[in-house]
Amino acid sequence: MVEHANSQRRRQRRTLSVLAGAAVAVVAAAVAVGSVPFARAEASLVPATSDGWAGIVRDEVTIPMDGGWVSKGELTYPRGAKGRLPTVVLLHGSGKNDLNETVDTGATPLEQVAQTANHQGFAVLRFNKRGVVDVGPKLSDNPAFLYPAKPYEQVVRDAAAAVRFAAKSSRVDTGRLFLFGHSEGTQVASNLAAAPRTYGIPGPAGVVEMGVVSGTPREVVYYQAVGAGLGQLHDEFDFDGDGLLTADEVTKGLLGQPADTAQQLRPLLLDGVHDDKVNSRLDANGDGKLAIDAEVRPAVEAAAGFAKYPNLTNAPKGFADYLVDIARFPTPAQDLVHYHGSVLLLNGQTDIQTRVRGAIVTDAALTTAGNRDHKLITYPGMGHFLNVTPQYNPAEANPDPVVLADIGKWLARHR
């Protein structure tokens, strides 16, 4: 749902751009993180040690999963640590993510989280998702691994296999096993935590969720593909707040926009020949203005193909199956009420992939359910990767040091 899957990547270009001739790149509902990055050159599973790995042991592991898939991963822990350690299993966002959740910009969000937890005395298990054979990510050429019959259910089963693998390690204290999920991973973590016996895993000691999924898949995808773009027009183009765009407002709104955004929006909103006039194809009533909700919205919906949901226009292979499958599973707000352990919820206040309201709703559900150890932290000016970034043109980057510090402090208090 969120945030997000694109046939080999680029997380999501709002459907507004489609009307200007760009291809639709809708993000898998509620899972907005980690669609499939463009395959990079072959790389070792364990890249050169960086400062963040100083003092940390990195053991390569292979995790057998059903259907013949074997996932490569790493179990990392502080050098010199004795006995069984509290352990965190990291669960990625949507799409074909490697163990680091590597994105196009080269950012490695889950690697940063792993290092943070390791330096707090935790062992950490990271693993490649099904279909990913190496970092970059580098993908398998076997369609059976890339497009399973029940794509979201398979993600949950694979995550459970990773947790069971961790529980068998001599380094891991099964009574202090934590789940950390980002985007899609927040729903996966919640599904596992609410029904550990169903998935054959130890009951987790705690759950950390970053970029919390909320709403139905259709609601999430609709906002990502339609609502966010319309929101940008309201917030950054409609200067007088009347819901109507004049050619002058459009021209001023385009100022300061990234070049590719401006190139896509200009022919959509303006006449093209006469930039002092709005696009007459959208100006249904001929008043010389574009009603954002009444005139622009229908065109965006049509371009996205929402009348044929879940079969959206130019959606990547398997996306419709994914939307249908994930809709069968409860969201974090629905499932975490059945979990009575410790919970930390983190969300950017300007996240347009998994909006902050979802984290607030989930936290309220935990309060109503009587959970006595849950915490919500929201961050102004931060997007889906918990980095400071423009709201409507977000950059993919590593989590802000403030966020990593909050994660580290919470883990230290619960170890």
Pick from 309, 348, 327: which is nearest to 226 by CA? Answer: 309
pLDDT for position 347: 98
The series of mean pLDDT values per 10 residues for the chain, 415 residues long, is: 35 32 32 31 40 95 98 98 97 97 97 98 98 97 97 98 98 98 98 98 98 97 96 98 98 95 92 90 97 96 94 95 98 98 98 97 98 98 98 97 98 97
Q: Which residues contact 413 (CB under 8 A, 6 or more apart)?
A: none
Give 137's DSSP letter.
T
CATH number of 224-307: 1.10.238
Query: Could you check whether 51-216+327-414 and 224-307 share the same CATH topology?
Result: no
Distances (CA, A) of 303 to 16, 229, 299, 315, 398: 8, 13, 6, 12, 32
CA separation, residue 174 to residues 30, 165, 209 (Å): 29, 11, 20
In the chain, what are the domain boundaries?
Answer: 51-216+327-414, 224-307
User: What fold does the segment set 51-216+327-414 form as a domain?
Assistant: Rossmann fold (3.40.50)
pLDDT value at position 273? Answer: 81
Measure the CA–CA gap between 4 and 225, rounded to whole angstroms.
Answer: 10
- Say if residues 12 and 27 touch (Cβ distance below 8 Å): yes
CA angle 18, 24, 27 (to 5 degrees): 135
Give the per-residue pLDDT at 92: 98
